[in-house]
Each structure stands twice: as structure tokens, then as C-alpha cells.
Amino acid sequence: MLENLKQELTDQINNANSLDELQQVKVKALGKKGSITLLTKNMKDKSIEEKKILGQAVHSLKEYIEIILKQKELFLIDMKIKDDIKKDKIDIFLPGVEFHQGSLHPLTITRNEIEEFFISLGFEVARGNEIESDEYNFEKMNIPKDHPARDMQDTFYFSEEELLRTHTSPMQARIMERNAPDKPIRVIVPGKTFRRDEDDLTHSHQFMQVEGLVIDKNISLADLKGTLELFARKMFGPNTQIRFRPSYFPFTEPSVEVDVTCHICKGKGCSVCKHTGWIEILGAGQVHPNVIKNCGYDPEVYQGFAFGMGIERIAMIKYGVDDVRLFYQNNLNFLKQFDKLK
Ligand code: DAH
């Protein structure tokens, strides 16, 4: 009888195809109501002699079954691992997971490029404070309290004297005062500026400018034009031309607005340049004698030119961006496009 049971259990163990099936066989044999367990329990009615013989036989059957169960279990685990590896096999032709590296912000890229250009001409790069005094932001720049030009630069005031600078021009005065009365100056000042404008396609209450200032003897508009021509070619391509249009700024005389030939249509006229062939990029001029004098130089001996450009505007033209707010919204889809640029 034990032989039959042994054969039966051995067959079942051999036929078990999964760990689950094997577990069921194990329970049927060795569980609380398993066939081998029951054999032990049924022994209590037998005589001592019988118990001895049967006990040994059941014990060795139990041992045997436990061993082949263990062997089969190890075999099935091994099979399962091999099977999992087969299913999980590495497809070396699958594209890899792309890791996005952070990139510089387009305004930083543009600012760096502007800085590199002017450094190559021998300019220094200075930075100023975003909080300015009314005196430097306006008075020293030849814009007294009742001057209409103050209306063009709607200002965030902290107090009557303190404000968020509306342009980088006050740094002209600060740098001139540091170098007066006779050191020549070649400097650019990039930085943040603020105006109480409603944000729209072309306005942002926070924006960036680069101020330029040259002070020396015998500086003329021709120097300004030559410098800006080289700059325009560097930023917008070698065939770019520039033109001066007469304009007005309180701190320059004469004042000009500077246009570049449209880099899209190369000057023929298209929707980007509103069919004029030209795009305005900055304001500039000869530094006003009042400003030179206010800051400690003798305007009879020293002249200079200055310019101020919006970095957003340069970046918008360069990269074809049509909404200035995109620069400040931290939209990754927009920013990722600049991954490849440095
Ligand atoms: N500060 C002027 C503005 O924010 C820009 C400007 C114009 C700066 C002419 C200059 C300049 O240095 O010469 O609108």
C-alpha cells in the first residue's frame, strides 16, 4: 500500500509543471490532512510491533517525498528564472532613454553672445544694482523731475528717492564718476530693468538691457556706427546692414534709433519687418555734454557715444520669437528648443 502511495506521489511530483502545482501536491501529501500525515495518525490503533515497522516505513516515505519535492522545487525555480530572463531579454535595438540636460536660457545665451562680442572689441563688462536712486536713474541722465521723458518710463518707486531702475543708463553716470576726470571708458552693462507696463506680446514689466558707453577724446558718431555695424553682423549674419534714424533721448545729442536689415527677407520686405526691410534694434547717440559734465569730465575735451538695447528684442529677432512673455513663463517646451545652443 505504501508502495502505491509512493508511486502515486512521485508521479504527481514529476508531473507538476509549476511551483503552484507542486505546492498543491505537497499539501496533499504532507499537509494537515495530507495522505502521509493521515498514515501517522491512523497508527495509534496498531500494536507496538506494527507501529514500529509501519512507523519506519512511513518515516522513510516521508523523507523520500520531502527530498524529491525539494529537488523538483529547485528545478522549477531554475526554470522560472530562465523563463523570466528569456521574456525580459534585452533588445539592443531599442532606442535608449533620453536624459534631458538643462540648457541655458535663451536670454542668457543672447546676453553671453553680446558680451563676447564687446569683450572682443576691448570693452569691459560691468553690472549695476537693480535698485537705483531717482538721481541716477533720471537726474544725472539729464531727465529732471518735470521732464516729459519720465512718462515714457513708468516707474516702480519704493519711495520718492528709491526705485527699480527703468533702464541700465544710470550705470553710465556711475561709471563715468568712477573714472572722471580723465580716464577713457569702454564698457557694457547688461542687466535687469523694470517698468510699470502691462505685459503683452511686446511688453514685459521686467526685461533686460545692455548699456554701452565709450568716453574718450575725438569720439564721433562714425565710431558708434562702425561699432554697431560689426555688432549687427556678428548677431544677425555677415551681410547685415544698419541705418541710423534721427531720434530723441535726453541723455544723448544727437540721438539715433538703429535699424538692421531684416534677416528673414534680407531687406526685401516681409511680414516680420512689416514690409520695410528694416528692424529697429536699439537707441543710441553721442553722450549729451550735460551728462558728461554732470559726471566730472570736461565736455570740451571728452566726448563719447552710448547705446542701449533690449536683450529680449535681440533674442526675439534672432530666434523668431513673437511673444516676449515666453521668456518669463518657464515653459519647458519653449525652453527645450534652445538645448542645442550654447
Ligand atoms: N535708456 C534708453 C531706454 O531705455 C535706451 C538708450 C537710448 C540708451 C539711447 C542709451 C542711448 O545709452 O544712448 O529707452
Residues 6+ apart with CB under 8 A from 209: 167, 168, 190, 191, 193, 308, 309, 310, 311
Nine-digit cell at 305?
557715444
Q: Flag the least confident range among 133-137, 279-283, 313-317, 335-339.
A: 335-339
Atom in ligand 1 nearest the alpha carbon of residue 141: 1
107-341 is classed CATH 3.30.450.40: no
Asked whether 288 lines ligand 1 (CB < 6 A), one says no
Is the confidence at residue 59, as pLDDT, over 80?
yes
CB 138 within 8 A of CB 157: no
Nine-digit cell at 114?
553680446
Asked whether 284 lines ligand 1 (CB < 6 A), one says yes
User: pLDDT per residue over 232-246, tens digit each?
Assistant: 999 999 999 999 999
| pLDDT, average across residues 215-219 | 97
User: pLDDT per residue over 2-48, tens digit each?
Assistant: 889 999 999 999 999 999 999 999 999 999 899 998 888 888 788 88
Atom in ligand 1 nearest the alpha carbon of residue 213: 12
pLDDT of residue 253: 97
User: pLDDT per residue over 284-304, tens digit each?
Assistant: 999 999 999 999 999 999 999
Ligand 1 geometric centre to CA of 169 (Å): 6
pLDDT-derived band at 271 (thresholds 50, 70, 90) equals confident
Report the alpha-carbon distance of residue 316 to residue 324 in Å, rounded.
7
CB 109 within 8 A of CB 102: no
Asked whether 167 lines ligand 1 (CB < 6 A), one says yes
Residue of the CA atom closest to atom 5 of ligand 1: 308
Ligand 1 geometric centre to CA of 284 (Å): 6
Of residues 278, 208, 277, 294, the one with CA closest to residue 245: 278
Ligand 1 geometric centre to CA of 221 (Å): 15
Is the confidence at residue 216, as pLDDT, over 60?
yes
pLDDT-derived band at 341 (thresholds 50, 70, 90) equals low
Is the confidence at residue 103, as pLDDT, over 90?
no
Is the confidence at residue 100, as pLDDT, over 80?
no
pLDDT of residue 342: 53
Ligand 1 geometric centre to CA of 22 (Å): 86
Ligand 1 geometric centre to CA of 250 (Å): 9
pLDDT of residue 149: 80
Is the confidence at residue 101, as pLDDT, over 80?
no
Atom in ligand 1 nearest the alpha carbon of residue 209: 4
Domain ranges of the chain: 2-88, 107-341
Ligand 1 geometric centre to CA of 112 (Å): 20
User: pLDDT per residue over 147-167, tens digit each?
Assistant: 888 877 899 999 999 999 999
Q: Which stretches of 217-302 are assigned E, i.e. beta strand?
A: 242-249, 252-261, 278-287
Asked whether 307 lines ligand 1 (CB < 6 A), one says yes
pTM given for the model? 0.73
Ligand 1 geometric centre to CA of 312 (Å): 15
Atom in ligand 1 nearest the alpha carbon of residue 212: 12
Residue of the CA atom closest to atom 4 of ligand 1: 167
CB 146 within 8 A of CB 183: no
Half-sphere exposure of 256 (CA within 13 A, CB side): 19
Mean pLDDT over the full length of the chain: 93
Using most ligand atoms within 8 A of CB, pick from 215, 249, 305 the residue to mutate for ligand 1.
249
Asked whether 306 lines ligand 1 (CB < 6 A), one says yes
